[in-house]
Structure 1
């Protein structure tokens, strides 16, 4: 077991190195004048294999390259492992980064390494999730309860009487997953006691895990009226399994507003999602990181909006993805 952990950390470090090669500041603006400080930022993504996390990491890289000539950002892959993320945080301290911009995977597990980094003088800013019991780290986020509630209110009208649903959760301990589930409980399950939850499982934001779960659920339960997912990636995975089984009339709800989800909604394959724009998160998170590093602010929490995306307005968000190069 110890050998496997060492190998996993080694592989993650190699991946981080390969990502770093292409992710330092490549702004076309003039470089910082000689003698001026160049700020070093370590961006730690929860998992580059997660479509939203990859979207956000790319948006952070692009935002720095376009607008911050005196900032170097290096991107590291957390690989959905708390020990890997902790190692990246420790390495950022050792290598004297000015700031860590962290996309937390586990809101509790990242508290100790983040606080240790701050104790050693490295600024920590979180984006697209926050860490628990913290009044020190600045943050840019969206309201996960509201993200779920907007979908849940739509589902109230759409899920049939005595409907049967399955629920896909993000990682254990992830605040966004837990709070989205709270939003569904308050706005849907508490108001629809007729609805039966066939099963509820953790799929770790992962499409493949969600696909395997959905395959099992179809085998076990047969008819399923709705997929209630805490993010788009899992929702799309479950829908792919349903499609392969010949079941194409299942309602499905996600969160993120990824390009893949927006296309699925336009094509009538997915019902709705709520947007948390990686572009807006990146813009605000990089600016907040810069303001904290330069002493303009000590700490702030900034929230972004989360509009509902349905077939009626999917084209608007597909166009945004096209302009950003996420859709050809």
Structure 2
């Protein structure tokens, strides 16, 4: 099987026509443009798993690209894949709204578009064959339940105060996880107060700085909800450095650093999500679409709750 891979930070214009000799009748050519492989270990692991899954399928010829977090670069990569007349494009959007014109152009060119991991904005749904990934609103909702249950166990559900560190602004996953948490928390713990939300951009160091500012601003913080464990551990590090104890940390997408912090008793809970499952599901969805299979528009895989109480039931994440 022939594979075409482009280095993560090489501009998409470096792709040449020779890199894609055209789709052969016995193969399906699938391009993927990712969000930002270098930003965290989840995306790095996803890319590796995607490549391995594609290599294992003799019917797939893959073009693997990374936008490096740059919307303009991702749009250019979409244009290149359209010009190369690939059979399907998998997009992990850098911005759920800004990529819609490029997605629409691919759809108009007869190319099946599969959105992976983080969905595009709803106004672009007509141009997408399927979304493959986690239900991020459910993740946020489950994180709220984890935090509320812990507050009830501690006897502070009637007075607890929470801060939130969200993901990258404009990024659908960040928006949906925040919405799920914000909608569910008052349903299960109506007297808990969410005092402020600030973005951590999926970055541990920035999230630590956000938490440092929260700790200066608020004398009373009982809980921190972070859009993923990478940011949550950044917040935990800030609390440790400031000597602030007793704060309940809950994330979404359990990273290895979050798992370790749970094992140490410093971090209470998260949502278990596998980047390997994510990558393999995206590729399978694209293949099924091209084969004319009946694929649901929202093709979710399950993401269960993980806390210190049940973490022994889960293997430590590799990312």
Other-structure match for 1:135:
126
- Equivalent in the alignment of 1:308: 305
| Matched position secondary structure for 2:148 | helix
Aligned partners of 1:82 and 1:105 also within 8 Å: yes
User: C-alpha distance in 2, partners of 1:40/1:220?
Assistant: 53
Aligned mates of 2:296, 2:193 — CA distance in 1: 44
- The TM-score with structure 2 as length reference comes to 0.82
2:59 to 52, 64, 70: 70
Aligned length: 297
The Cα shift of 1:260 comes to 2.5
Residue 6 of structure 1 corresponds to which residue in structure 2? Answer: none
Deviation at 1:249, TM superposition (A): 3.1
Q: Does 2:144 correspond to 1:148? A: no
* One of 45, 52, 77 as aligned partner of 1:55: 45
SS of the equivalent of 2:208 reads: helix
Displacement after TM superposition at 1:211 (Å)? 1.5
Q: Residues of 2 paired with 1:307 and 1:299: CA distance?
A: 21
> Which residue number in structure 1 is paired with residue 3 of structure 2?
none
Cα contact 2:12–2:80 (8 A) shared by 1: no
SS in 2 for 1:135: helix
The answer to whether the 8 A contact 2:9-2:68 is kept is no
Structure 2 segments unaligned to the other structure (5+ residues): 1-6
For the structure 1 residues 314 and 73, does the alpha-carbon distance in structure 2 shift closer, same or farther, using more than 3 Å as the test? farther
Per-residue CA distance 1:165-190 (angstroms, 9 max, x = gap): 21111223333322222222232135
**1:196-248 CA distance string (max 9 Å, x none):** 33421122222222111112222332442211112222112211222232335
Question: CA 1:215–1:267 in structure 2 vs 1: closer, same or farther (change >3 Å)?
Answer: same
What corresponds to 1:224 in structure 2?
221
Are the equivalent residues in 2 in contact too, given 1:12–1:84 (CA < 8 A)? no
Does the C-alpha gap of structure 1 residues 191 and 307 become closer, same or farther in structure 2, counting only changes over 3 Å?
Answer: closer
Mapping of 1:60-209 within 5 angstroms?
A: 60-66=50-56, 68-131=57-120, 132-133=122-123, 134-137=125-128, 138-159=130-151, 160=156, 161-209=158-206
User: What is the CA-CA distance between 1:262 and the residue it aligns to?
Assistant: 2.0
- Distance across 2 between alignment mates of 1:258 and 1:15: 29
TM-aligned CA distance change 1:122 to 1:223, over 3 Å: same
Q: What is the CA distance between 1:12 and its match in structure 2?
A: 6.7
The structure-2 alpha-carbon separation of the partners of 1:17 and 1:120, relative to structure 1 and needing over 3 Å to count, comes to: closer
Which consecutive residues of structure 1, in runs of 5 or more, have no partner in the other structure? 1-10, 25-34
Q: RMSD between aligned alpha carbons?
A: 2.8
